[in-house]
Amino acid sequence: MNIFLSLTLGTLIIALIRAQVFFHLILHGSNHFHNSMLSGILYTSLRFFESNPSGRILNRVSKDQQVIDELLPVTLFDALQLLLMTLGTLIVIGIVNPWALLILIPLLPAFWLYRRFYLRSSRQIKRLESITRSPVYALFSSSLQGGLSTIRAFNVQEDFIRLFINRIDTNSRAFFILIAAVRWFGLRLDLMTSLLSLITSVLTIALRHRIDPSSAALSLMYCINLTMLFQWAVRQSAEAENYMTSAERIYEYVQLEPEENENNTNLLIQPPDNWPDQGNIEFSQYSMRYRAGLDHVLNNIDLHIETKEKIGIIGRTGTVHRYD
């Protein structure tokens, strides 16, 4: 009794320490990803915000970060724990009934091929689901940030509702395919593990005169447990690898190039002591483009703005701004 109690307490303490260390490391890594991504977004150039819609950025900092914070740690912890439990179960079965391990010779390659095929498909489907989620966030964000008054003014509420539903349907299609792929993989794992239990039972009956009844019962019991453990371990390991897609997407923002520091050019412009003595603005042969690689939108213009003169600036979105 004392030995059993000591083993139980020791197992409990080791499990608590293991969980504490694992989730502490995962939390530290998640915070590092979040802070690095935030720094990358804050210090990158405006060119990044011109070429990336707000929905795509919201998708990375919300859903992808949530996956790293919540889903990935639990799934990875389950996968590691179940793989170790599966290994322990195989060791017990090998000691009690070594003939049962022969079944794994054809089954393990089949498990590996199914897992490889599933991962290749589910990884792309997961990426597609994340991509189709960004337009939903973009429309939601643009509608709330100053867009409601314009939508109501032009009485186009129904049009925006249909547009929102269409984008949700597009995302739901990808999400449904992802769930169907998980079910497809789970069904084949269940069939293969059930086949493992069936063959083990047949071998136990065929070798009943050579195997002790208690050993045969123990091997069957562990084989039934192996049926559940092995297929769930393979499934969780595949899901953990799928969730790493979110970490990959966040890492893209971690590697954003920071905006160049203008002080690095060692160019010092010293204005006159009496500057500014008047409020005039003058451009002479001035050219400008939105970013490198694009054509000039202003090409060698000459412009003179008088003091207190009112001007209008029309951007590429068609919005007119007035500056006094």
- Per-residue confidence band for 172, with pLDDT thresholds at 50, 70 and 90: very high
Q: State the residue for tokens 């069957």.
A: 220
CB distance 96 to 213 below 8 Å: no
Kindly report, residue by residue over 239-267, the tens digit of the pLDDT: 888 888 888 889 999 998 887 654 455 56
Kindly report, residue by residue over 93-119, the tens digit of the pLDDT: 777 777 777 777 888 888 888 888 888
Tell whether the model's pLDDT for residue 296 goes beyond 90: no
Domains and CATH numbers, the chain: 18-254 (1.20.1560.10), 279-323 (no CATH)
Whether the predicted model's global pTM rises above the 0.85 cut: no
CB distance 188 to 95 below 8 Å: no
Question: Roughly what angle, to the nearest 10 degrees, separates helices 213-254 and 104-144?
Answer: 30
Amino acid occupying residue 53: P
Cβ atoms within 10 Å of 147's Cβ, excluding its own? 14
Of the two residues 124 and 201, the one the predictor is more confident about is 124
Kindly report, residue by residue over 69-81, the tens digit of the pLDDT: 988 898 999 888 8
pLDDT, residue 262, reads 47
Kindly report, residue by residue over 135-153, the tens digit of the pLDDT: 888 888 888 776 788 888 8
Question: Rounded distance, CA 59 to CA 42, Å?
Answer: 16
The DSSP annotation for 258-304 comes to BPPPGGGG-------TT--SS--EEEEEEEE-SSTTSPPSEEEEEEE
Joined together, the tokens standing for residue 272 give: 């006159």
